[in-house]
Structure 1
Amino acid sequence: MKQARMDPRTKRRLSAARRVRDLLRAAIVHEELPAGALPGEAELMLSFSASRQVIRDALALLREEGLVKRVQGTGTFSVASKVCHAFSHLHGPEPALERVSHRILAISQEVAAPRVADRLDLPMGAECGVIEYLAVLGTEPYYACTAYVPIPLLGVVRHGRTVTEWYSVYEAAGFELGVTDQAVEAIVADDEAAAVLDVPAGAPLMLFERLVRDRRGRPLEYAFARVRGDRIALLAQLPRNRRQRRLPPVAQEA
């Protein structure tokens, strides 16, 4: 069955609303707009040279993302600023951003799966520690993590329940962290992750797979962190350092 064709004027309006939505989201994420109440519709119309309906459509899209909320008779407020995670060094959420806490959900020992044994440089059949924990920003869940560690690190983690930055658990125990391999991909929340992170099943998440090593290159942790997609923005600076191709000589006119 063919889909009904959208009126061209409606299509142009919704396209404009999506562009305004993207620009407003960026301004909120990068804190170019003060936290709290957003500018009124008239001011936004002037800023974006857009109609009132386009502005209302853009704000509705942001409400669907959970980034703003409408308070009747008061205005529209930003309610969930994203964590700007810069890929410049190994770090967790900055404690200065909001009150950060980590809740240990479970600690256990099990025979390391082949991939875990390979990443942690353990002999096949050896046991490893498994830590399930939740990172919370303010009162909202930020990410849920499953971390595999060598058995000696379990005692270190058990004493790290009150830290505000996860990697400081290892540093406080005398480990100097070195290079970390990290891969990031987009996924959706399964039922268990949804329950822990307080999001609907199928909500967008970012999956961080990481291998943390100490200064000598010895593996300390192999982990999978599921981060709420509505709470994070990934930032990176990407220089273009490729070799320049040699261009053919320009023909000279006689």
Structure 2
Amino acid sequence: MKQVRMDPRTRRRLNSARRVRDLLRAAIVHEEFPAGALPGEAELMLSFCASRQVIRDALGLLREEGLIKRVQGTGTFSVASKVRHAFSHLHGPEPALERVSHRILTVTREVAAPRVTDRLGLPRGSECGVIEYLAVFGDEPYYVCTAYVPLPLIRVVERGRSVTEWYQVYEAAGFEIGVTDQAVEAILADDEVAGLLDVLPGAPLMLFERLVRDRTGQPLEYAFARVRGDRIALLAQLPRHSRQRRPHPSAQET
């Protein structure tokens, strides 16, 4: 299939708009605009040394993402605050500004699949508890989770609706949480999950696969949380580990 050739000036303008979009998105995520109000077009043109059309294109891209909205006669505002999730220790969304709540959707028991028995340290063929719940940030669905737990913990996890951070449900029951394994990947929302999270089917999600252990290493929970990709920003500081490298040939003496 032939690609439509774009005018070089148009391509340069759109590339500039995407770069402005990225920088504005970062500023929104890090809450750098007071009360969520973005500067006016004239100020943005000066800040980015960009044309009015580039600024309008960038704002249009952010509107398509659902991150900002234009209020006639007032200005442009961010409308979808992202949860800033520090990836340095185990925690849920910080409930400083809006309350986090959990809605237990279903609680069942079933014969555990081999992967579940391996993760939870259960005998093959034994049963486990399966809890489906929805986490709500303020009034907006944030993530939906499937959690597998040993049968004695079903009653513990059913109390999850009364905590603002999911892991508190274990701590309130007397467990001291130790090391948790986390794996994160990008996925797309299926029809069922899309309905629960109020997004379109195929919308981008972040999948958190986690194995929670207590201080002794005993597994408490093996879970899959599907988080709205438009509502989360992962933050981390990554050290660079030194390696023994062979000198580049150009640096060696001849």
Greater mean alpha carbon deviation, residues 153-162 or residues 19-28: 153-162
- The number of equivalent residue pairs is 252
Q: Which residue of 2 aligns with 1:127?
A: 127
Shift of 1:27: 0.5
Match in the other structure for 2:115: 115
Distance in 2, matches of 1:177 and 1:170, equals 8
Alignment of 1:150-189 (within 5 A): 150-189=150-189
Q: Does 1:237 align with 2:237?
A: yes
Question: 1: CA distance between counterparts of 2:242 and 2:252?
Answer: 23
Q: Which amino acid in the other structure matches residue 123 of structure 2?
A: P
SS of 1:110's partner is strand
Equivalent-residue separation in structure 1 for 2:163 and 2:49 (angstroms)? 47
Distance across 2 between alignment mates of 1:12 and 1:96:
42
Secondary structure of the equivalent of 1:199?
Answer: coil
SS at match of 1:3: coil
2:209 counterpart letter in structure 1: E
Deviation at 1:33, TM superposition (A): 1.8
Q: By how many angstroms is 1:157 displaced? A: 1.6
* Counterpart for residue 33 of structure 1: 33
Please give the alpha-carbon distance, in whole angstroms, between the structure 1 residues aligned to 2:160 and 2:195.
Answer: 24
TM-score scaled by length of structure 2 = 0.96
1:135-193 deviation digits (Å, cap 9, x = unpaired): 11111111000000001111112223111000000000000000000100000000001
Q: Which residues in structure 2 correspond to 1:39-54 (within 5 Å)?
A: 39-54=39-54
Describe the SS at the equivalent of 2:16: helix
For structure 1, which segment, 16-25 or 241-250, has the greater mean C-alpha deviation from structure 2 after superposition? 241-250
Structure 1 gaps of 5+ residues are none
In structure 1, what is the Cα distance between the partners aligned to 2:71 and 2:187? 32
Q: Tell me, yes or no, if structure 1 residue 69 matches structure 2 residue 69.
A: yes
Letter in 2 for 1:58: A
Provide the alpha-carbon RMSD of the alignment. 1.4
CA apart distance, 1:35: 3.0
Provide the C-alpha distance between the structure 2 equivalents of 1:247 and 1:6, rounded to a whole number of angstroms: 44
Q: Deviations over 1:91-150 (max 9, x none)?
A: 000111421111111111111011111110000111100000011111111100000000
Q: Which structure dedicates a bigger proportion of its chain to helix?
A: 2
What residue is the counterpart of 2:215 in the other structure?
Answer: 215
Partner amino acid, structure 1, of 2:200: P
Is the contact made by 2:204 and 2:228 (CA closer than 8 Å) also made in structure 1?
A: yes
